[in-house]
């Protein structure tokens, strides 16, 4: 209750006014009483002296006449408040006593019969003359006669308590209304004043409440009085100004923070180049999606793809062009998807699609075909037409137990299958791919050991001329794996390339071929060449030429006996380096042949810029010679082209006489294939050379 200023001040003021009034009243009553008692004492003293002088002759006479004394005393009977009056002789012995009205009243009320006790007679033996107030009585004691010759004494005792009480009551009755009026007016005046004084404070309180409720810090408090509240209001106003400024700064900072947060979220979840969701975003969402699919037992499909030949474009045309292609790819793929399908870029040239809704085989196959077809159109960038294909790997969540890493790895496996199959294909993951993958892992892990333990062996496949005479061999590596048996190069060479082991293997093959060359030379009288296959990685190996040179020296190899085969794509992916390397090798006397020709690049203009001796027509055209008009056309064109460029033509993969004859008729000079011999170990190769000419002529005769 006393917490508010108003109530505290009100109570204090009312209390103070009341207290002051009571004190003043009390003092006034006291003063009034004093005056009253003083006046009564004075009157009684005068009265006593008057009667003393009247009694003087009576007491001076001898004998003293008692009735005269009583007569005089009886005159005092009219006094209202007289308790008693007594006359004493010179020896202060009472001579006469008059009991007054007050005395009798007291005597009766107290019910005391003993007069002495009831009236409370005052002893006078040693009493001095004069008037005094004792125990609510005024006692006047005067001498009768002169001081020199006293005749006796008169004592008049008047009751004063009753009159004083009456007088006090009267005074109160008379003054109380006035006092009360004064008191209430003072209190009301004080309260009014207080209200007026506190009203600015109330306005200030109302103002602050308004600010708090509306949160509007632009409001200002106005008070035109000259009170402290005005100054307080001004202080609050300046505080509000400061708060408003701070608030504006805070709002601006908040806005910046929100923008920064949005940017960070965008950067964290979206790819800045294509604007597509990034790996982080996809992984987070995919995890949730997989949990949901697992609960509802609905399958989910993940399509993982990367671009074929993107690395070549990036390396040859620069990253800027590569970036433009990635943006175009994002646009092209997005246009084939619905709003609810998710397309994301995982990094580099890797993307994923999570189709929404229909996950049936037909739907996924359709989408994959649409994607592949979309990439059959070249990208037109900066006046160039760039062909980029895609290899797609498709995996289902149900095959991965709805586990994210497993699903990703399955899609990855399927995608690498597509890559291995050739450009622009898709592969749906099947559980047996895991076994293949495990085998691949096992090969990758044991490759180091294979190199150091020399677990490889070189097989030789003869190349023959139109007459059937052996004009060379292709050295083809095999891996005699201690657990897996004979592993073919088509399987482990790509693994070696990915694992960075290909240089060691190539060096091993060069060394082994040069070492075994003398054995072949002993059996074959005529000139021949042994072809060694090089991979694209070898062309980037700066020390390879020196290795070849030193191996040739070590085994005293004539370079004319050696040919290097490199695929068209490997050559073109490392164009400058390949040119430099092959020019040096060619200058040394080795021959160079372009392997698997016709499968890679469609542009042939580069052929005039490279130094090669032979074009090897790929097996895929040869095996379809009899059935496909297109293969016959391509083969014919390659032969024609090679002739125009004065290049030797070698056809590989010849399995029957019809193919051989057809190629012979069309001017092919060298032939390689199972018709003549499969790749065989060195020992068989030497024997082969002995009997080969006879056997082939027989086969031709039979054909
Ligand atoms: P390639 O250089 O095109 O070799 C020809 C491949 O075709 C050989 O397979 C050979 O066995 C096979 N072939 C030859 N004639 C016929 C035929 O009539 N019918 C069929 N079906 N196949 C035939 P191989 O030995 O399995 O080698 C596969 C590939 O591995 C080679 O293709 C070559 O690119 C690579 N390779 C082999 N040895 C080496 C090596 O020492 N170093 C490098 N870098 N690659 C090698
Ligand atoms: Mg080859
Ligand atoms: Mg080949």
DSSP-derived 3-state class of residue 140? strand
CA of 569 to the centre of ligand 2 (A): 13
Q: Which ligand is nearest to the CA of 508?
A: 1
CB burial class (10 A; 0-12, 13-18, 19+) of residue 112? Answer: middle
pLDDT at 601: 58
Inform me whether the pLDDT recorded for 300 exceeds 60: yes
pLDDT at 475: 98
CA of 417 to the centre of ligand 2 (A): 22
Helix (H) or strand (E) holding 195: helix 161-214
Comparing CA positions, the residue from 634, 642, 636 lying closest to residue 663 is: 636
Tell me the mean pLDDT in the region 680-697: 77
Q: Which atom of ligand 1 is nearest the CA belonging to 655?
A: 18
pLDDT at 703: 45
CA of 565 to the centre of ligand 2 (A): 5
Q: Which atom of ligand 1 is nearest the CA belonging to 535?
A: 44
Q: How would residue 468 be classed by pLDDT, with cut points 50, 70 and 90?
A: confident
Q: Which residues contact 59 (CB under 8 A, 6 or more apart)?
A: 69, 87, 89, 95, 144, 145, 151, 152
Atom 7 of ligand 1, nearest CA residue? 653
Inform me whether the pLDDT recorded for 485 exceeds 80: yes
Q: Which atom of ligand 1 is nearest the CA belonging to 622?
A: 18
pLDDT at 702: 47
CA of 594 to the centre of ligand 3 (A): 9
pTM of the prediction?
Answer: 0.56
Q: Which ligand is nearest to the CA of 489?
A: 1
CA of 645 to the centre of ligand 3 (A): 20
Ligand 1 pocket check: which of 493, 501, 563, 699 to mutate, most ligand atoms within 8 Å of Cβ? 493
CA of 623 to the centre of ligand 3 (A): 13
Q: How would residue 532 be classed by pLDDT, with cut points 50, 70 and 90?
A: very high
| Bridge pairing between strands 130-134 and 94-99 | unpaired
Tell me the mean pLDDT in the region 71-88: 90
Distance in angstroms (rounded) separating the CA atoms of residues 376 and 389: 7
Contacts of the segment 482-487: beta carbons below 8 A, 24+ positions apart: 482/455, 484/439, 484/442, 484/443, 487/443
Tell me the mean pLDDT in the region 332-342: 93
Ligand 1 pocket check: which of 533, 544, 616, 654 to mutate, most ligand atoms within 8 Å of Cβ? 533
Q: Which atom of ligand 1 is nearest the CA belonging to 596?
A: 3
CA of 569 to the centre of ligand 3 (A): 12
Please state the φ and ψ torsions of residue 571, each to the nearest 5 degrees.
-60, -50
Q: Identify the bridge partners of residue 652 per DSSP, sorted by sequence position.
A: 672
Tell me the mean pLDDT in the region 91-109: 84
CA of 626 to the centre of ligand 2 (A): 23
Tell me the mean pLDDT in the region 191-195: 86
Q: Are 197 and 13 in contact (CB under 8 A)?
A: no
Tell me the mean pLDDT in the region 145-152: 88
Least trusted range by pLDDT, from 4-13, 186-195, 325-334, 633-642: 4-13
CA of 536 to the centre of ligand 2 (A): 13
Q: Which ligand is nearest to the CA of 671?
A: 1
pLDDT at 10: 83
Q: Which of 53-67, 102-116, 535-549 has the highest mean pLDDT?
A: 535-549
For residue 623, the Cα-to-chain-centroid distance in whole angstroms is 62
Q: Which ligand is nearest to the CA of 495?
A: 1
Q: Are 107 and 99 in contact (CB under 8 A)?
A: yes
Mean pLDDT of the chain: 89
CB-defined site of ligand 1, < 6 Å = 461, 476-477, 488-490, 493, 506, 509, 533-535, 565, 595-596, 619, 652-655, 672-674, 679
227-265 tens-digit pLDDT: 788 888 888 889 889 988 998 999 999 999 999 888 888
Distance in angstroms (rounded) separating the CA atoms of residues 474 and 530: 6
Inform me whether the pLDDT recorded for 109 exceeds 90: no
Tell me the mean pLDDT in the region 83-112: 84
Inform me whether the pLDDT recorded for 150 exceeds 50: yes
CA of 571 to the centre of ligand 2 (A): 13
Atom 22 of ligand 1, nearest CA residue? 653
pLDDT at 505: 97
Distance in angstroms (rounded) separating the CA atoms of residues 536 and 494: 11
Ligand 1 pocket check: which of 489, 655, 672 to mutate, most ligand atoms within 8 Å of Cβ? 489
Inform me whether the pLDDT recorded for 15 exceeds 90: no
Atom 46 of ligand 1, nearest CA residue? 533
Q: Which residues contact 456 (CB under 8 A, 6 or more apart)?
A: 450, 477, 478, 479, 480, 505, 508, 509, 512
pLDDT at 268: 83
Tell me the mean pLDDT in the region 311-335: 91
Supply 288's token pair.
């949730």
Distance in angstroms (rounded) separating the CA atoms of residues 132 and 139: 5
Least trusted range by pLDDT, from 149-153, 599-603, 629-633: 599-603
CA of 476 to the centre of ligand 1 (A): 6
Q: How would residue 288 be classed by pLDDT, with cut points 50, 70 and 90?
A: very high
Q: Which atom of ligand 1 is nearest the CA belonging to 672?
A: 15
CA quadruple 171, 176, 181, 186: dihedral sign: positive
Atom 33 of ligand 1, nearest CA residue? 533
Q: Which ligand is nearest to the CA of 461?
A: 1
Please state the φ and ψ torsions of residue 150, each to the nearest 5 degrees.
-70, 140
Atom 19 of ligand 1, nearest CA residue? 653
Q: Which ligand is nearest to the CA of 596?
A: 3
Q: How would residue 121 be classed by pLDDT, with cut points 50, 70 and 90?
A: confident
Q: Which atom of ligand 1 is nearest the CA belonging to 489?
A: 30
Least trusted range by pLDDT, from 175-179, 278-282, 495-499, 632-636: 175-179
For residue 123, the Cα-to-chain-centroid distance in whole angstroms is 107
Supply 500's token pair.
């960075």
Domains of the chain (ranges, CATH numbers): 5-167 (3.30.450.20), 216-261 (no CATH), 279-433 (3.30.70.270), 441-597+605-702 (3.20.20.450)
CA of 150 to the centre of ligand 1 (A): 175
Helix 502-523 and helix 489-498: axis angle, to 10°? 140
Atom 4 of ligand 1, nearest CA residue? 476
Comparing CA positions, the residue from 495, 470, 471, 468 lying closest to residue 481 is: 495
Ligand 1 pocket check: which of 463, 476, 578 to mutate, most ligand atoms within 8 Å of Cβ? 476
Count of CA atoms in the C-beta half-sphere (13 A) of 521: 14
pLDDT at 149: 85
Inform me whether the pLDDT recorded for 463 exceeds 80: yes
Q: Which atom of ligand 1 is nearest the CA belonging to 459?
A: 25
pLDDT at 693: 54
Distance in angstroms (rounded) separating the CA atoms of residues 306 and 309: 10
CA of 588 to the centre of ligand 2 (A): 21
CA distances 55 to 60, 68, 87, 131, 266, Å, are 8, 9, 9, 18, 130
Inform me whether the pLDDT recorded for 1 exceeds 60: no
> Looking at the chain, how many residues does it have?
703
Atom 12 of ligand 1, nearest CA residue? 653
Inform me whether the pLDDT recorded for 340 exceeds 80: yes
360-390 tens-digit pLDDT: 899 999 999 999 999 988 988 878 888 899 9
Q: How would residue 546 be classed by pLDDT, with cut points 50, 70 and 90?
A: very high
3-class SS shares of the chain: helix, strand, coil, % to 5: 60, 20, 25
CA of 631 to the centre of ligand 1 (A): 20
Inform me whether the pLDDT recorded for 605 exceeds 80: no
Please state, for a pLDDT cut of 70, what percent of the chain lies above it.
96
Q: Could you count the other beta carbons within 10 Å of the beta carbon of residue 345?
A: 23
CA of 479 to the centre of ligand 1 (A): 13
Atom 16 of ligand 1, nearest CA residue? 653
Could you tell me if residue 184 is left (phi over 0), alpha (psi between -120 and 50 degrees) or otherwise beta? alpha
């Amino acid at each position: 209750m006393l917490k508010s200023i108003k109530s505290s001040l009100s109570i204090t003021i009312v209390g103070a006014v009341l207290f002051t009034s009571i004190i003043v009243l009390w003092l006034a009553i006291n003063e009034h009483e004093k005056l009253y008692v003083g006046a009564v004492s004075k009157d009684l003293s005068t009265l006593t002296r008057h009667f003393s002088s009247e009694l003087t002759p009576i007491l001076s006479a001898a004998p003293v006449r008692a009735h005269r004394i009583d007569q005089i005393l009886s005159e005092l009977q009219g006094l209202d408040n007289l308790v008693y009056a007594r006359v004493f002789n010179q020896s202060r012995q009472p001579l006469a006593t008059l009991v007054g009205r007050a005395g009798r009243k007291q005597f009766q009320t107290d019910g005391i019969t003993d007069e002495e006790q009831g009236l409370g007679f005052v002893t006078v033996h040693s009493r001095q003359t004069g008037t005094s107030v004792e125990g609510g009585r005024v006692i006047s004691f005067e001498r009768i006669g002169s001081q020199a010759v006293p005749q006796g004494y008169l004592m008049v005792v008047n009751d004063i308590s009753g009159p004083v009480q009456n007088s006090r009551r009267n005074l109160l009755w008379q003054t109380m209304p006035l006092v009360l009026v004064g008191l209430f007016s003072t209190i009301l005046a004080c309260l009014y004043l207080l209200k007026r004084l506190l009203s600015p404070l109330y306005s200030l309180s109302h103002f602050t409440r308004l600010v708090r409720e509306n949160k509007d810090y632009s409001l200002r408090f106005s008070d035109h009085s000259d009170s402290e509240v005005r100054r307080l209001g001004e202080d609050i106003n300046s505080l509000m100004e400061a708060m408003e400024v701070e608030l504006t700064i805070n709002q601006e900072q908040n806005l910046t923070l929100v923008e920064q947060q949005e940017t960070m979220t965008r950067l964290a979840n979206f790819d800045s180049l294509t604007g597509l969701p990034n790996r982080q975003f996809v992984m987070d969402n995919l995890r949730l999606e997989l949990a949901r699919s697992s609960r509802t037992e609905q399958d989910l499909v993940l399509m993982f793809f990367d671009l074929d030949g993107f690395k070549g474009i990036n390396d040859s045309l620069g990253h800027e062009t590569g970036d433009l292609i990635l943006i175009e790819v994002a646009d092209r793929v997005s246009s084939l998807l619905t709003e609810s399908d998710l397309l994301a870029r995982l990094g580099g040239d890797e993307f994923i699609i999570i189709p929404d809704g229909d996950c049936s085989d037909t739907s996924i196959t359709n989408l994959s075909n649409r994607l592949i077809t979309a990439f059959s159109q070249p990208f037109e960038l900066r006046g160039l037409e760039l062909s980029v294909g895609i290899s797609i790997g498709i995996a289902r969540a149900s095959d991965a137990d709805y586990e994210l890493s497993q699903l990703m790895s399955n899609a990855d496996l399927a995608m690498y299958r597509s890559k291995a199959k050739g450009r622009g294909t898709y592969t749906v993951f099947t559980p047996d791919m895991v076994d293949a993958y495990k085998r691949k892992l096992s090969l990758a892990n044991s490759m180091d050991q294979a190199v150091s333990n020399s677990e490889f062996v070189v097989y030789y496949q003869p190349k023959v001329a139109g007459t059937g005479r052996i004009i060379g061999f292709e050295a083809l590596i095999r891996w005699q794996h201690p657990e897996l048996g004979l592993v073919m190069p088509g399987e482990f060479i790509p693994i070696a390339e990915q694992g960075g082991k290909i240089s060691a293997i190539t060096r091993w093959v060069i060394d082994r071929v040069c070492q075994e060359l003398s054995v072949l030379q002993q059996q074959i009288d005529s000139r021949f060449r042994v072809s060694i296959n090089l991979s694209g990685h070898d062309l980037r190996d700066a020390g390879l030429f020196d290795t070849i040179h030193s191996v040739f020296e070590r085994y005293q190899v004539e370079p004319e006996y050696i040919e290097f085969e490199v695929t068209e794509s490997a050559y073109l992916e490392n164009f400058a380096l390949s040119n430099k390397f092959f020019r040096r090798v060619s200058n040394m006397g080795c021959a160079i042949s372009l392997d698997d020709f016709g499968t890679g690049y469609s542009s042939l203009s580069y052929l005039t810029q490279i130094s090669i001796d032979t074009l090897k027509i790929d097996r895929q055209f040869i095996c379809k010679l009899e059935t496909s008009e297109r293969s016959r056309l391509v083969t014919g064109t390659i032969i024609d082209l090679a002739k125009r460029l004065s290049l030797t033509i070698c056809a590989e993969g010849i399995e029957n006489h019809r193919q051989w004859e057809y190629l012979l008729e069309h001017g092919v000079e060298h032939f390689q294939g199972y018709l003549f011999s499969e790749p065989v170990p060195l020992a068989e190769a030497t024997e082969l050379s002995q009997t080969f000419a006879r056997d082939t002529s027989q086969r031709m005769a039979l054909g």
